């Protein structure tokens, strides 16, 4: 070969070929190249730590992860489909605060002396911070602007190597004009108390999203004459995202979301903080309240330049199949008390598309019996469950059993602490009951609403007789509906007129007794009422 050929600079194609051969040889020899297959230290990959599950198909997720910062910045590809188009990002450290969250197709750096210094040293520094990340480089070669994209695997003195579909490209560092980060649409800045930016941070993310719910169900086991064992289980239906060793909070009570599709970002941020402080641990709740950046996640423009060749990651549609996954399961989203009651199951793994039945509590409770009769219906026997536990009971189906014999399957209604609820057992066949009425007085043509139209005022007397054939005392609540104005009731009965029906011919009311009947005892309950009827 002619000696002058050694003095010529190799072309870019030759350099790329040499780099490719070297990389392939190193891989075959088992030698690590570039970053050695390690993740980029500035890539924040938060993992789901906890989720508060509501019964209306929404979940409040909290994620967190450690990251190394570059001048206070890190990047992430985690853009969850947050409800209302919002999410909160915060730092766990007391001396740190997330003050800027940028969202767009990906970070853009222009080495033009204005956005970033146009020096080969600074270009190498920015490239080193982007190793193992997919980027797009715009560079000049022989007076022509070119572009190359791929995973940055190596940064040398003169060339940066990109890997794309098993092909490697060498890009001259000196000629790089612009760098676009691909597939990482969010970048986060953490501010510390000192002038210099912190080097590391533990960053959390909180957001509301659709696709997860839970269905409560109870079992009631009768133990003795006044004690029962109440068990609450929750069926978790997860169509949102994988939960790996996460704490799951089953929330009793459904939050009231107003204008869920068009709520303003400021209002939504306040809502996230309110929910967060209700269900998150105290240390995380304080961060959400004081050190979180509330940002929009929908309809976000690229804040760092518009590049048409950027590879974007659309918001995932996961969770939209929740109604299909639910099948015929009932929706228990009725309103509850003003305060939330939370049952927590720690270290739970339920992947997307799975269901799980979780036991939330097993408690001994007191119960009693009550009999209700509203003629002409049959008398009903009900169990009264007294909530002396430390939590409210949410609405859900309940199965009551006595030994091996089922007693009832019905709906247990929301019951606050120190409250009580009733579930029907069966018809009361051992309580004989009878009702009779008779006319005792009539005033002919007592009222004439119009010409030749006359009404008689009739007074009636009724009696209700009750016989207890049970072997124990029973409490009976009897309510008689009367088609007129109730006048009086014996045996401490309570009379009430319906204020919504005041027309003479449409008046209605009730007479009610609450009595305790001993075994073998008979009781007759009298009452009177009056009504207007046509004289013809």
**pLDDT one-digit tens code per residue, 467-494:** 999 999 999 999 999 999 999 999 999 9
Where does a domain end: 174, 199, 222? 174
Where does a domain end: 123, 156, 174? 174
Closest CA to 69 of 103, 108, 97, 47: 97
> Is 150 in contact with 112 (CB distance < 8 Å)?
no
The confidence score (pLDDT) of residue 87 equals 79
The confidence score (pLDDT) of residue 111 equals 94
Beta bridge partners of 160: 155, 171
Query: β-pairing, 380-386 with 355-373?
Result: antiparallel
**pLDDT one-digit tens code per residue, 329-381:** 555 444 444 456 888 999 999 999 999 999 999 999 999 999 999 999 999 99
pLDDT of 225 higher than 70: yes
Cis amide leading into 376 (omega within 30): yes
Query: Is residue 471 in some structural domain?
Result: yes
Output the DSSP codes for 209-277.
EESEEEEEEEEEEE-SSSEEEEEEEEEEEE-S--EEEEEEEEEES----SSTTT--HHHHHHHHHHHHH
Tally of domains within the chain: 2
Output the DSSP codes for 324-357.
HHHTT---------SS-EEEEEEEEEE-TT-EEE
Query: Is residue 467 in some structural domain?
Result: yes
Where does a domain end: 174, 202, 229? 174
pLDDT of 105 higher than 90: no
Task: Go through 203-218 and write b for each residue having 16 or more CB atoms within 10 A of its CB, e for each that does not.
Answer: bbbbbbbbbbbbbbbb
Query: Is residue 249 in some structural domain?
Result: no
3-state SS class at 275? helix
Tell me the two tokens of residue 81.
């489909």
| Domain boundaries, position 438 | 431-534
Instruction: Give me the phi and psi of 304, to 5 degrees please.
Output: -125, 30
Angle among Cα 108, 112, 114 to the nearest 5 degrees reads: 85
Query: Is residue 226 in some structural domain?
Result: no
> Is 368 in contact with 473 (CB distance < 8 Å)?
no
**pLDDT one-digit tens code per residue, 492-524:** 999 999 999 989 999 999 999 999 999 999 999
Query: Is residue 264 in some structural domain?
Result: no
pLDDT of 263 higher than 60: no
Query: Is residue 522 in some structural domain?
Result: yes
Closest CA to 147 of 176, 174, 115: 176
Tell me the two tokens of residue 252.
């009793």
Beta bridge partners of 176: 139
């Amino acid at each position: 070969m002619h000696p002058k050929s050694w003095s010529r600079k190799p072309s870019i194609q030759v350099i790329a070929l040499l780099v490719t051969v070297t990389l392939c040889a190193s891989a075959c020899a088992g030698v690590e190249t570039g970053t050695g297959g390690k993740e980029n230290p500035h890539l924040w990959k938060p993992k789901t730590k906890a989720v508060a599950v509501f019964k209306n198909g929404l979940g409040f997720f909290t994620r967190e992860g450690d990251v190394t910062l570059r001048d206070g910045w890190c990047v992430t590809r985690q853009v969850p489909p947050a409800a209302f188009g919002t999410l909160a990002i915060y730092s766990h450290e007391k001396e740190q605060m997330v003050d800027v969250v940028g969202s767009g197709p990906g970070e853009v750096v222009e080495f033009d002396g204005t956005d970033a210094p146009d020096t080969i040293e600074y270009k190498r520094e920015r490239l080193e911070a982007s190793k193992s990340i997919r980027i797009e480089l715009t560079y000049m070669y022989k007076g022509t602007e070119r572009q190359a994209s791929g995973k940055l695997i190596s940064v040398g003195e003169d060339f940066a190597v990109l890997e794309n579909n098993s092909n490697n490209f060498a890009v001259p560092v000196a000629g790089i004009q612009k760098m676009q980060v691909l597939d990482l649409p969010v970048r986060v800045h953490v501010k510390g108390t000192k002038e210099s930016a912190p080097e590391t941070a533990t960053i959390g993310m909180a957001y509301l999203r659709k696709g997860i719910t839970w269905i409560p169900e109870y079992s009631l086991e009768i133990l003795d004459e006044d004690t029962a064992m109440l068990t609450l289980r929750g069926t978790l239906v997860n169509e949102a995202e994988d939960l790996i060793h996460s704490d799951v909070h089953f929330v009793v009570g459904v939050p009231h979301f107003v204008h869920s599709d068009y709520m303003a970002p400021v209002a939504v941020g306040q809502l996230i903080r309110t929910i967060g402080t209700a269900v998150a641990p105290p240390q995380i709740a304080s961060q959400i309240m004081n050190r979180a950046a509330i940002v929009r996640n929908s309809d976000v423009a690229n804040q760092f330049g518009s590049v048409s060749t950027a590879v974007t990651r659309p918001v995932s549609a996961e969770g939209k199949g929740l109604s299909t996954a639910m099948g015929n399961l009932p929706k228990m989203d009725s309103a509850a008390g003003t305060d939330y009651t939370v049952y927590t199951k720690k270290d739970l793994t339920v992947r997307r598309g799975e269901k799980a039945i979780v036991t939330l509590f097993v408690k001994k409770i007191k119960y009693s019996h009550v009999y209700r009769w509203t003629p002409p219906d049959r008398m009903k026997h009900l169990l009264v469950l007294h909530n002396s536990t430390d939590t409210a009971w949410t609405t859900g189906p309940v199965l009551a059993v006595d030994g091996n014999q089922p007693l009832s399957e019905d709906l247990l209604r929301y019951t606050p602490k120190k409250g009580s609820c009733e579930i029907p057992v069966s018809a009361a066949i051992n309580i004989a009951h009878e009702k009779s009425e008779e006319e005792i007085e009539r005033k002919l043509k007592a009222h004439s609403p119009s010409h030749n139209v006359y009404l008689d005022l009739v007074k009636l007397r009724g009696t209700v007789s009750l016989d207890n054939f049970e072997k124990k005392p029973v409490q009976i609540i009897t309510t008689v509906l009367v088609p007129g104005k109730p006048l009086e009731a014996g045996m401490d009965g309570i009379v009430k007129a319906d204020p919504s029906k005041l027309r003479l011919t449409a008046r209605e009311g009730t007479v009610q007794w609450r009595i305790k009947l001993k075994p073998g005892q008979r009781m007759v309950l009298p009452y009177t009422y009056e009504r207007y009827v046509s004289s013809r």
